[in-house]
Amino acid sequence: MRQSRREFVKGAAWMVAVAAAAAECRGNMSVGAAQPMSNFAVAPLKKIRVGIVGIGERGTAAVRRVALIPGCEFTALCDLRPEAVDQALKWLKEKGKPTPAHCFSGTADKWKGLSDCDDVDLVYIATPAPLHAEMEIYSLLAGKHVLTEVPGAQMLDEAWKIVEACEKARRHCMMLENCCYGEMEMFAWNLCHKGLLGTLTHAEGGYIHNLTDRQTADHFRNRSRKEQALRAPGSEVRHWGNPYPTHALGPICLYMDMNRGDRMEKIVSFSSSAVAKKEFVAAKYGPDAWQNKLKWEEGDINTSIIRTAKGRTIMMQYDTVTPRPYSRINLIQGSKGCFYDYPPRLALAKTPGAHAGWLSDADFAKAREEHKHPLWKSVGEIAKKVGGHGGMDFIMDLRWAYCLQNGLPLDMDVYDLASWSAIVPCSAESDKRGGVPVEIPDFTRGAWRTAKPQVIGDVDLKKMGFDPSSAKKDTAQLET
């Protein structure tokens, strides 16, 4: 359907406002902004003293993985809930790990004490998403390296401030996008970087994960929803666009070397009608339950399409409520081939554009071995033993620790954090405005044109002093 002139002008006015806001943020930038962080590295940090903020589900699992890595030591723990800190402390003591010198809990701003500790090199953030940006900015400006759970920011001005703080502080700031390290994602990354798929033109990703039970359970994580239901019965629960884009987008951006030769320019986004969660709560909880006092108006499936500067397209879906089986879609298309996950398939053409069918199971198994990423070859089995989404969480942790210990750039930088997270507000704005194209800011301010592609290399377990027999399954690791 054609857009009316009035709609076009309304949309254009909004885009001008966003561009002005972005320019204002850029205008306020300090001297540090002149030094891009692409391919940034620091001197080798053999011993990494880690402070963790947020020891809930993800944080607890992270403590148990990171504590296995030689040279990584927790020196500070923080959670709003004292019992979460006590449990982590107890586990570290039981395992004979060094006792953290500092523990913070009880009030919402205690984490600042952790970021200010002299004996913390790196702040690992695993709190609820709306808290990430402030914690990242404060920690960077306190001189710490920062690793943060996803997404790294919720709003564009936050994302700009994180970039500014990172450039000013000259510290690493990486989002812990574990899906980039999945076995199939790393296989696809390898195919792309060996040129086997030809020139990359299109990708599809998703976060299709039924979480209705978790999102509506009477659990401390849903406390604010429960309070909303009791305070304002009949009120709406709604989000626009894609509130959780990075599991879908991160691996694709690494396949396509985004922010290093290309960048995401525009997005359009639409959400479907809201049905599945309404039907779920009506069937599961009694009519007087708090869950039935809210209007669940989150569209079941959000679909967004991004266009890049090079003219490539990325389709992304977000769906945490329908019964569709788990999938991150994970499709990457080039002129010579296509990889498509869930289940994994590969089609390779002899010449660009020629017809190619999916490889047979036997041929795919051969290709899977031949093009397995070096990281999965060397630590895949160990990582599967430790666990964490099939091992990818541990591979991610081993990799950032190895890079820091050897003075290498991390696999993802602050521009990746900012641009991938910017999809949250940009998709929301497009969806809200009926799917109009929305500009995605260039957080690199042009540096993407010359930044070198990031090579995701191997780790050397011997050099790290890692004893493979220390890899044991841990029940705190999430597998779904």
Ligand X SMILES: NC(=O)c1ccc[n+]([C@@H]2O[C@H](COP(=O)([O-])OP(=O)(O)OC[C@H]3O[C@@H](n4cnc5c(N)ncnc54)[C@H](O)[C@@H]3O)[C@@H](O)[C@H]2O)c1
What are the residues binding ligand X (CB under 6 A)? Answer: 53-59, 78-81, 84, 108, 111, 126-129, 131, 149-150, 178, 221
User: Is 58 or 145 the residue whose CB approaches ligand X more closely?
Assistant: 58
User: Is 123 or 447 the residue whose CB approaches ligand X more closely?
Assistant: 123
Distance of CA 233 to the CA centre of its chain: 33
First to last CA, the chain: 40
What is the DSSP-derived secondary structure letter of residue 129?
Answer: G
User: Is 116 or 265 the residue whose CB approaches ligand X more closely?
Assistant: 116
What is the DSSP-derived secondary structure letter of residue 350?
Answer: S
Shortest distance (Å) from residue 473 CB to ligand X = 18
Q: Are 122 and 48 in contact (CB under 8 A)?
A: yes
Shortest distance (Å) from residue 298 CB to ligand X = 16
User: Is 167 or 183 the residue whose CB approaches ligand X more closely?
Assistant: 183
Shortest distance (Å) from residue 60 CB to ligand X = 8
CB closest to ligand X, residue no: 56
Q: Are 76 and 120 in contact (CB under 8 A)?
A: yes
Length of the chain as a residue count: 480
Amino acid at 276: A
Give 214-217's long-range contacts (Cβ < 8 A, gap of 24+): 215/277, 215/320, 215/321, 216/277, 216/280, 216/281, 216/284, 216/285, 216/291
Q: Give the list of residues 6+ apart from residue 363 with CB closer than 8 angstroms, or none.
A: none
Alpha-carbon dihedral sign for residues 344, 183, 407, 123: positive
Shortest distance (Å) from residue 54 CB to ligand X = 3
User: Is 394 or 448 the residue whose CB approaches ligand X more closely?
Assistant: 394
* Other CB atoms within 10 Å distance of the CB of residue 401: 22
User: Is 61 or 456 the residue whose CB approaches ligand X more closely?
Assistant: 61
For 316, phi then psi, to 5°, come to: -130, 140
Shortest distance (Å) from residue 269 CB to ligand X = 19
User: Is 79 or 442 the residue whose CB approaches ligand X more closely?
Assistant: 79
Shortest distance (Å) from residue 315 CB to ligand X = 21
Q: Give the list of residues 6+ apart from residue 25 with CB closer than 8 angstroms, or none.
A: 156, 157, 160, 161, 164
Shortest distance (Å) from residue 271 CB to ligand X = 19
Shortest distance (Å) from residue 181 CB to ligand X = 11
User: Is 55 or 200 the residue whose CB approaches ligand X more closely?
Assistant: 55
User: Is 140 or 392 the residue whose CB approaches ligand X more closely?
Assistant: 392
136/124 Cα distance (integer angstroms): 9
Shortest distance (Å) from residue 80 CB to ligand X = 4
Q: Give the list of residues 6+ apart from residue 8 with CB closer than 8 angstroms, or none.
A: none
What is the DSSP-derived secondary structure letter of residue 290?
Answer: G
